[in-house]
Amino acid sequence: MAQSNATISNKQFITMSVNLIHKALIEPTRTHSKNLYKSLLAGERRSITTVKMEDGSTVRFDISIDSNEYRGKLNYSMFRDGVTLLLANFVETMKAEKEPAVFRAEGEEHKMLFGVTAPTIQGEVLNVMALSAEVSPTSAEILLKLLYLPPDQFVQNTDSSAGVLGA
């Protein structure tokens, strides 16, 4: 695999990432998608495709799940609903001619968290899915990670004991 020196905009990268996740988890049959979900939930990192860049180099895209912050018991249907909502929220953000925020930690610029989330509520339990990406500094690989964020940061307390989703 060739090392890529191609540079693309954040918007192009996000669009490509959203399309690849859709192709890996939403388009396939339920059986195929569910099998991929099970292996990801077991902690595996799976290759989803290799993309040929404009400069002729290739980049391998992998996918993983981080469900450590998920509240409750995660099953395939809830996961798929979260992925579907997350992808739809990315599409709506892009249609509004906005580029989603990209957050990077100082000293770890190769890791990014995208500022689009998918809050889901089951019963009274809030879970928030997001997408992050990690570009390997040593090889032409990118890890797309679907992760659950700590939901408490998205809840605002009101005068009543019920929480309200933060904007």
Q: 141 in a domain, yes or no?
A: yes
> Could you tell me the maximum CA-CA distance found in the chain, to the nearest angstrom?
58
Q: 4 in a domain, yes or no?
A: no
Q: 164 in a domain, yes or no?
A: no
Q: 21 in a domain, yes or no?
A: yes
Q: 5 in a domain, yes or no?
A: no
Decide: 113 and 130 in contact? Cβ < 8 Å: yes
In this prediction the pTM is: 0.86
Tens-digit pLDDT profile for residues 58-108: 999 999 999 999 999 999 999 999 999 999 999 999 988 778 889 998 888
Q: 142 in a domain, yes or no?
A: yes
User: What is the extent of the structural domain holding 29?
Assistant: 10-151
Tens-digit pLDDT profile for residues 15-56: 999 999 999 999 999 999 999 999 999 999 999 999 998 888
Decide: 64 and 133 in contact? Cβ < 8 Å: no
Q: 66 in a domain, yes or no?
A: yes
DSSP for 31-100 reads HHHHHHHHHHHTT--EEEEEEE-TTS-EEEEEEEEE-TT--S---HHHHHHHHHHHHHHHHHHHHTT-PP
Q: How many domains does the chain have?
A: 1
Q: 159 in a domain, yes or no?
A: no
User: Residue holding tokens 């040593």?
Assistant: 138
Decide: 115 and 101 in contact? Cβ < 8 Å: yes
